[in-house]
Each structure stands twice: as C-alpha cells, then as structure tokens.
A = this chain, B = another copy of it.
C-alpha cells in the first residue's frame, strides 16, 4: 500500500487506529478453546468486530512463534482473513545482517504478504536495505519506544534523534515510518522537526499514559501521519461469550474520537 492510499483509507474510515493482534491462548475468552485453532477463531471475531473502524492490524510475532508450527498457521490464516485495504504490520522488531534480512523480507513481504515490518535500527543501513527493494512495502523503524527501558539507550544523549536523522537520508517517507511512544509528548515535537512528513506508528495510548488528543495535536501532518496502536485494551476488553459486542463498542468510541480530531485539524 502506498502513502496516498493509506491516507485515502484514513479519510474514508475517519480513523487512524491500528489494532495489535497480540493473541494469547491464556487471555482469549475460554469458550474459544474448544475450536481446533482458537487463536485464528479469536482473531477472526476481532477482525469482524473491528475492521470497519481500523486502518491497520499489527500481529506481534512473538505470540505466534510461541505456538510453534501451529502458531505460524494461525498467523497465515489471519492474514488471509484481513480484508483488502487494511494495512498489515508484522511486529517483528528484527534487525540482522544483509543475507539474513533478505530471508526475513521474503518471509514477511512475500510469503505472508505483510505491508510493513517493524525493525530495530541497531545494526544500521545494510540490515534495513533488503526490505527496501519492495515497492509499496514499509519499514517501521524503532525510534523512541513507550517502555521504561527506552531511557537506557534511546534517550541516552538523544540517540533516537540520531537514528531518525540518519535513517531519513536512506529512505523516503514513502517507505519508512518510525515507532514513537505516545508517552513521549515533548520528544514528538523534536521528531516532527526532523521528519515533518513521515508516518509515525504510535503505541502507548491509554495504559502507558499517552493522550490521544495531545499526540494527535503534536503528531498530525498534512496527510494525518499517524497510526495509533492499541492492543490489549481492545482485544481483551471482554471475555464473555459475546465479547465482540464490547470490542465493537470500544473501537467505535475510539473511531468517534479520532474522527473529531481529524475534523478539528482539517484532515477530512
């Protein structure tokens, strides 16, 4: 998916919500465990309940790897089930030398047909380069994450700014986004100074203390420029037999807020 189509979808759905599919056998509603593939069953219901209000889905690969061969199959079925025109992000946080990155790129961009993959910048340009030869596919580079540990290295001498400053020279805003935690409001201003037209994937709204209003105000660009992620708050909002009702209510209410923010900043 290219940047123009991404914004087109945002305007059409009046939403910039990404839902994280961190699907965990221990946390999904118990009645699903009777199915042959409970993870896929869960994802299917989540997708049905949310796809009208969602711009992107982001399965975190750790949750599928944990289940071994069957997890891989659940992931593949889930990807096939996601409707056309929804952006699919492999939350992989990989980063490896060239020939290895090439294998990962083939796996996630070709075999599984993801639109984007999250990567760690630590190993530098040649660890990212193999992903860039795919047209309309995206690298989403970790810049400033929302966890406590972001202080250890990312914020050390504002290292995250160097990551952005260097990597934006390598890749245009048509193929590169950055992960920026919603709890880093002050830093978003610095980041927007460096990359006024790159999309940001923003975790950390809600549980981790970020405010949707503030992040939108600080992060919006002329084509929205934000994908705001929410995982556990949405997918585990309820565990009853009719859990899809509450989840549907939840994403609808987020979409309503997002619509009013998009309107407020003249983005519709």
Contacts and interface: CB of A to CB of B under 8 A. Distances in A.
Interface string A54-87: 0000001011011011101100100000000000
B145 A123 contact: yes
A154 B124 CA distance: 8
A106 B63 CA distance: 10
A159 interface: yes
This protein's copies in its complex: 2
A145 B126 CA distance: 12
A125 B111 CA distance: 33
Interface residues of A, number: 53
Contact of A103 (B65, B123, B163): B65
B162 A97 contact: no
30 contacts: A24-B103, A62-B94, A62-B96, A62-B100, A62-B101, A62-B107, A66-B103, A68-B72, A68-B76, A68-B111, A69-B69, A69-B73, A72-B72, A93-B95, A94-B94, A97-B146, A97-B147, A97-B149, A98-B147, A120-B120, A122-B154, A123-B147, A123-B149, A124-B147, A124-B148, A124-B152, A126-B147, A127-B147, A153-B162, A156-B162
Interface of A: 22, 24, 60, 62-63, 65-66, 68-70, 72-73, 76, 93-101, 103-104, 106-107, 111, 120-128, 142, 145-154, 156-157, 159, 162-163, 166
